[in-house]
Structure 1
Amino acid sequence: MLIAIFSGILYHYIEISIFENVAISLNRIAKDLEPRSKLYALQSKIPDVKISVDETKIQKPYFSYNKDKSSTQLHYPTSYGTLIIDKNTKEYSQITAQILSNIIFINATAIFLILFYALFLSRILVLPVRALALKLSKLNEHSLKGVESTQVPSEFEPLAKSINRLIERIEAYALSQKELFIGAAHELKTPLAVMKTKNEVTLLKDRPKEQYCGALEQNIKSIDQMNKMVSAILQIGRGEAAQFEKPVNTDIIAFLGEICESFKALAKKEGKSLSTSFSPKSRKISIQTTLFTHIMQNFLQNALKFSPEGSEVKVETKLLDNILEISVSDEGCGIDEDKDIFAPFKRYGKAGGSGLGLFVAKNAANAMGAQISVLNRDDGKSGAVARLLLKIS
């Protein structure tokens, strides 16, 4: 379509240019004859030009053409009437017709070549895409092999690299799920084995009522421990489901304040305090509130769990360019920064727990496109600082 449009514009430009030259030459002849006599004008002999005079008077000169533009007439006003100069432009008309036919032929050839080249090029470009699609169709959780970027055209290298990054993320996710599954089985198997052994030992012979009660109490503690583990695993499932939650435009500062208020009563009950320092005082962002709640609840629960009685847990927010930093500081024993505290079923310190809290928080942060970290305090005090970095633009 573009070729046809530009060709049409080119043809009309050439045609106008040719006949404009004719018009200029006729105007020149008319201006030369206009001051002369009528007889002189009629007797003038100019090649391919016929001159006649019409007694009808006109105010302005104008041109007229016959149907095929083989003849061009200039009607020019003079003192003795209208000077009519008729020039034979058949040759010019033939030239423009030949130009038009040549343009049509060239356009038809060009369109054919372009279509052929487009089909040939598309076939070349589709082959790597088909190869990538075939490779991806053969992938499964047992064979997550990346794409060799050197085996695809340079134009497809960014696509191959993106696919490889996606495969790496899928592989990491699959490995974390296997690790979680194995860890959960191990964590649940141990208390079950202990309960079974205690029950078997207790039933070997008749015992006093107090020993039976003691065994039952131990079993109840083991069951409570397993319930905590199952609840943590269910929380992981809810967290993964929440990854598909639609982000909501929320005042993140006000929402964080509501979460902190719910923990202030718990802190007071345990003989601790929870303070807040928010800057800015209000900021609306689009966020998945369930995932955000998982992260902040874990931060606050850990801070209160590991803080001694009479200590303070502080929640602060800072705006750094387009990043909102949320930090939760405690006055506990701190952490061992050489260990991976985000791995599942990893427990630190004397406080009990399932060992899945930070694992859930890390997955939630990844789903939100945020970053979390837990480091020891750098202000000379004991304790740890958990940070959440949120993009706000």
Structure 2
Amino acid sequence: MESRSIYREFYLKLIFATSLFVVILSFIFFEYSRVSFYDNLQDNLLFQAKQIEKGYIRFDKFQNVVSHSQIIELSTSKKIDNFKFSKFVNKNRAFIKIEFPMHDGATLEITKDITLEKDILYSVIIKNFFALAIPGFILMIIYSLVVSKSLLKPIIGINKKLSNMDENSLSQVDTKGLPQEFLTLATSINSLTNRIGTYLKFKKELYIGIAHELKTPLAVMKLKNELMLKKPREISQYEDAIKLTIKEIDGMNIMISSILDIGRTEGAQFEQPKNIDLVEFIKYKTNDYNMLASKKSIIIKFSSNVSSFQLLIQETLFNQILQNFVQNAIKFTPNGKTIKIKFKKIENKIVLSVIDEGIGINENIDVFAPFKKLGKENGVGLGLYLAKIASDALNAKISIKNREDGKSGAIARLELNL
């Protein structure tokens, strides 16, 4: 199947449109010239008839002057109330005729031979038309090609930029000088390349981190077991080695589960969206989180500026973000403190905030990168990475910053444009 060319289609359509415009304009010009030609002849004949009727020009004198190109007759048998014109052709010659009522009841008839004038008119129009049409058509083709090239230049530039991109050169499309109609496209492409760049960066860090996190416990177990095999040991020493191995295996299982969660989160991007009441959904989840937080005597409070809010959304992805925010807040909040979950509907977006009273974060660290651990709490460091994957799939923005109200703690925030 032959590929289509936008450039070719555009300039062909432009040539067709301008050609049609020229043809219509030429037809209008021709009709205007023809009508003006006959109007002038009719006005001239009418003026002559009125002059004869008033006696300013004697019939015999007028007849002698113009008899070589027109015929003047008086008819007493024909009675008319008003003057009228007619056109006819006789023996390949064109004539125009006026019938004019005289004051004595007679009818004045002036018949003028307009063959020469008509031939000149049509000859001039046709000659001028071709004299202008051929150069005009050539200029029109050049104009169409130049305009097509200039209008399609931004698309060609963007296309060239994209065709030269790979994972090692995700450069941005320069929006300076772009027409307004292409700004949205360029901005979307830049946003997409940013997301792809971040994704590739995190993927590389993820693979490196997985290799490191799995290699370390394997090396520890191998070294411990090799030492145990060098000479006979006490039973308690063998038990300690086995316990260490089991502990390292448990840690590896946790990490593998987190890695599997990444696959499930990425797979959830293709989940069918559901229409759920987010306020009721968060209320229900808050009750579950309170049971988890009760081990540290932490109270979780939920508030919303709307009583309900229905939204078509991928539930698994939204829950992944909410769950990660709350679990981190519980992990880093001291015993007996409070965690607040706030849901707000603000104009054309919703904002979910989880506010804790913990130690806060180092804002110079990219906390959403894989294996970035905060504080001294246990964990693999993949939770926020999972939340980032989920937020990207929802076209949402997430952030974690320290509180600005003078209290210690952090605010995890999700913004979703409706």
- What residue in structure 2 maps to residue 19 of structure 1? 38
Gaps of 5+ in 1: none
Specify whether residues 15 and 185 from structure 1 end up closer, same or farther in structure 2 by C-alpha distance, changes over 3 A only. same
TM-score normalised by structure 1 residue count: 0.79
C-alpha RMSD of matched pairs (Å) = 4.1
Q: Distance in 2 between matches of 1:134 and 1:315?
A: 47
Q: Distance in 1 between matches of 2:325 and 2:110?
A: 99
Residue correspondence of structure 1 range 220-299 to structure 2 within 5 A: 220-243=246-269, 252-268=278-294, 271-283=297-309, 287-299=313-325
CA drift of 1:220 comes to: 2.9
- What residue in structure 2 maps to residue 74 of structure 1? 98
CA drift of 1:304 comes to: 1.9
Q: Please, which moves more after superposition, 202-211 or 358-367?
A: 202-211
Which secondary structure does the structure 1 equivalent of 2:98 belong to?
strand
CA drift of 1:250 comes to: 5.9
Deviations 1:117-138 (A, max 9, x none): 5446767998998798677556
- What residue in structure 2 maps to residue 115 of structure 1? 141
Q: Please, which moves more after superposition, 196-205 or 306-315?
A: 196-205
Q: Distance in 2 between matches of 1:89 and 1:102?
A: 21
Does 2:87 correspond to 1:65?
Answer: yes
Contact 2:170–2:197 under 8 Å retained in 1:
no
Deviations 1:4-40 (A, max 9, x none): 112222222222222222222233334444577xxx7
Contact 1:313–1:331 under 8 Å retained in 2:
yes
Q: Distance in 2 between matches of 1:290 and 1:325?
A: 18
Q: Distance in 2 between matches of 1:53 and 1:255?
A: 104
Contact 2:353–2:413 under 8 Å retained in 1:
yes
Contact 2:205–2:369 under 8 Å retained in 1:
no
Q: One-letter code of the match for 1:381? A: K
Does 2:86 correspond to 1:94?
Answer: no
- What residue in structure 1 maps to residue 3 of structure 2? none
Identity of aligned residues (%): 40
CA drift of 1:286 comes to: 5.9
Residue of structure 2 aligned with 1:4, choices 23, 38, 53: 23
Contact 1:374–1:387 under 8 Å retained in 2:
yes
Specify whether residues 379 and 161 from structure 1 end up closer, same or farther in structure 2 by C-alpha distance, changes over 3 A only. closer
Q: Distance in 2 between matches of 1:382 and 1:311?
A: 11
Q: Distance in 1 between matches of 2:42 and 2:284?
A: 86
- What residue in structure 2 maps to residue 352 of structure 1? 378
Deviations 1:317-369 (A, max 9, x none): 23444343221011222222333322221111232111111122234334444
Specify whether residues 116 and 215 from structure 1 end up closer, same or farther in structure 2 by C-alpha distance, changes over 3 A only. same
Does 2:404 correspond to 1:378?
Answer: yes
Contact 1:327–1:385 under 8 Å retained in 2:
yes
Deviations 1:198-233 (A, max 9, x none): 333344455565554443333333222222222222
CA drift of 1:276 comes to: 1.3
TM-score normalised by structure 2 residue count: 0.75
Contact 1:42–1:52 under 8 Å retained in 2:
no
Contact 1:144–1:167 under 8 Å retained in 2:
no
Contact 1:253–1:283 under 8 Å retained in 2:
yes
Q: Please, which moves more after superposition, 252-261 or 342-351?
A: 252-261
Which secondary structure does the structure 1 equivalent of 2:257 belong to?
helix
Q: Distance in 2 between matches of 1:288 and 1:349?
A: 31
Contact 1:373–1:387 under 8 Å retained in 2:
yes
Q: Distance in 2 between matches of 1:322 and 1:69?
A: 78
Residue of structure 2 aligned with 1:176, choices 170, 186, 202: 202
Q: One-letter code of the match for 1:304? A: I
Specify whether residues 306 and 162 from structure 1 end up closer, same or farther in structure 2 by C-alpha distance, changes over 3 A only. closer
Deviations 1:100-154 (A, max 9, x none): 342244223312232245446767998998798677556544x5275997xxx98
CA drift of 1:251 comes to: 5.0
Which secondary structure does the structure 2 equivalent of 1:70 belong to?
strand
Q: One-letter code of the match for 1:87? A: K
- How many residues are treated as equivalent by the alignment? 386
Residue of structure 1 aligned with 2:360, choices 303, 315, 334: 334
Which secondary structure does the structure 1 equivalent of 2:411 belong to?
strand
Which secondary structure does the structure 2 equivalent of 1:281 belong to?
coil
